[in-house]
Amino acid sequence: MNLDNFKFTKEHEWVNMEGDIGTIGISDFAQKEFGDIVYVELPSVGEKFNKGDACANIESVKAVDDIYTPISGEVIEVNEELNDNPENINKDPYGKGWIFKIKIEDKKEIENLMNNNQYNDFLNGIS
Amino acid sequence: MKKTKLNKAHYILNGKMVEFAGWDMPIQYSGINTEHNAVRTTGGIFDVSHMGEISLTGKQALDAVQYITSNNAAKLNPGNIQYSALLTEKGCFVDDLLVYMLTENEYLLVVNASNIDKDYKWIKEKAQNFDVEINNESKDYSQIAIQGPVSEKLLSEFTKEDLYSIKYYHFIKGKINGIDSVISRTGYTGEDGFEIYFKSDEETASKLFLDLLEKGKKYNVIPTGLGARDTLRLESSMALYGNDIDDAHTVLEANLGWILKLKKGDFIGKNILLNQKNEGIKRKLVGFELTDRGIARHGYPVYINNKEYGIITSGTYAPYLKKAIGMTYLPIERTEIGAKFQIQIRNNRVLAKVVETPFYKRDKKI
């Protein structure tokens, strides 16, 4: 998986921009830390969020975690397949495990996020 | 933080360590789902040395046990085990426990890790008028649980004793890997299995744990942590002190009337429970399933007709049954199978229904 275009947050979400649409998910590190994901609570299409808002939940057998959106805007699509196959986040966090798509309001928000190399450095710092 | 004598083994096995009731314990090794399903299908090995062991020895040991616990210990013979409870004067739980009859004048009570000090103090105080010596032996005992369908086959490789002849809720004294042990056919998983109690140094305890795993490999036996222990006990509808049973709910309300023997003579909590039995309980612990999507967890609010009633006492995703289950107290008139209620999960109120318990029941051969 080529992650050159992916941007990361310190909360381990990623966003992949195509035009003004950002696809959002969680990093491979995050899915490994979290363990087997058994349930995903998706946002609704049309909901608007500000950067940093909790807008989805993932649950393992024992734990619940909020997913924060790295960018502000309106949810235009959610990954309904996760309702039946939440484990796709574990199996393919950067592909089939995407969670929702947001139409970005302010592209400048992207600039403050980490690229893949910076994110790896960040992970090395915390582990 | 307190460490069990097997602590080193958990680090060798790369367990994910957490603090539990003051102990440094493995919550998981390979993952809760995997560990849970290993116990249901092959086997898992748990370190449960954090559990407490309190012995009562003396001429009036039986009388003391009878007075402080709710079940009828007079029914026990040496080698028998009984599930029972320490109750408050109000008929609620100080703790739930296992009573082992070791010899005629010697009983061993196995209590929850989080309650050891409280229970020991309680028992010393309540049994003070009996001719009995009470000892907290929790620090000396290690305890390893071997749980799952292959338990008997695996453990047989470590002992000359005839494990087949040990029935459920019975024990023998024998050697495991040369270590003097209490070999008990019990568990907290809903599967066949054994709990081994022994007194040894750290090296011997860790070695036994690792040896069990090494010989268990061929049966796909894996190390299992406290996470799987909790989901396994809940899937089998076993109550957990601090969640489903506590000092605010009586043994009758907890649906544990079968460990309450009101005809056995005087014991703590008897009078209130006699009254409650005659008058009938107003609420009862039930098992439920979610009919809407979501997972209910301990502490989530319960609603009946849009009015807040209480909280979920235990809730999880059940890895073997593959659905969201849990337990909660409901008003007695709302506890029939199929009765609906609501649970607040974050911003949503989702529907749940009362179901038969246990959620999971193994095919019993033993």
Is B22 inside any structural domain? Answer: yes
**Do B341 and B193 belong to one domain?**
no
Answer yes or no: are the C-beta atoms of B269 and B88 closer than 8 Å.
yes
Q: Which domain holds residue B203?
A: 7-51+139-235
Q: List the domains of chain A with CATH numbers.
A: 7-105 (2.40.50.100)
The token pair at B326 is: 């849990």
How confident is the model at residue B69, as a pLDDT?
98
Is B265 inside any structural domain? Answer: no
Q: How far apart are CA B121 and CA B126, in angstroms?
A: 9
Domains held by chain B: number: 3
| Cβ–Cβ below 8 Å for B295 and A39 | yes
How confident is the model at residue A105, as a pLDDT?
92
**Do B148 and B122 belong to one domain?**
no
Domain final residue, candidates B90, B120, B136:
B136
**Do B231 and B150 belong to one domain?**
yes
Q: How far apart are CA B290 and CA B223, in angstroms?
A: 30
Q: What is the 3-state secondary structure (H, E, C) of chain A?
A: CCCCCEEECCCCEEEEEECCEEEEEECHHHHHHHCCEEEEECCCCCCEECCCCEEEEEEECCCEEEEECCCCEEEEEECCHHHHCCCHHHHCCCCCCCCEEEEECCCHHHHCCEEHHHHHHHHHHHC
| Cβ–Cβ below 8 Å for A61 and B34 | no
Q: Tell me which residue in B28, B227, B295 faces A59 most closely, judged by beta carbons.
A: B295
**Do B105 and B184 belong to one domain?**
no
Task: Name the residue of chain A whose CA is nearest to B318's CA.
Answer: A61
**Do B44 and B161 belong to one domain?**
yes
Is B85 inside any structural domain? Answer: yes
Residue B346 with chain A: CB contacts under 8 Å = 41, 57
Alpha-carbon B297 to chain mean position: 19
A44 in reach of chain B (CB within 8 A):
no
Other CB atoms closer than 10 Å to residue B143's CB: what's the count?
25
**Do B223 and B149 belong to one domain?**
yes
Alpha-carbon B180 to chain mean position: 24
What is the average pLDDT across A102-115?
A: 93
Q: Give the domain CATH number at B153.
A: 3.30.1360.120
**Do B148 and B43 belong to one domain?**
yes
Residue B317 with chain A: CB contacts under 8 Å = 38-39, 59, 61
**Do B32 and B145 belong to one domain?**
yes
B31 in reach of chain A (CB within 8 A):
yes
Q: Give the domain CATH number at B81.
A: 3.30.70.1400
Q: What is the pLDDT of residues B43-79, one digit of tens each?
A: 999 999 999 999 999 999 999 999 999 999 999 999 9
User: Which residues in chain B land under pLDDT 50?
Assistant: none
Answer yes or no: are the C-beta atoms of A73 and A49 closer than 8 Å.
yes
Which ipTM value was assigned to this complex? 0.85
Q: Tell me which residue in B27, B31, B295 faces A36 most closely, judged by beta carbons.
A: B31
Is B248 inside any structural domain? Answer: no
Cis omega (within 30 of 0) for bond into B319:
no
Is B318 inside any structural domain? Answer: yes
Minimum distance, in Å, between the CA of residue B17 and any CA atom of chain A: 13
Is B270 inside any structural domain? Answer: no
How confident is the model at residue A62, as a pLDDT?
84
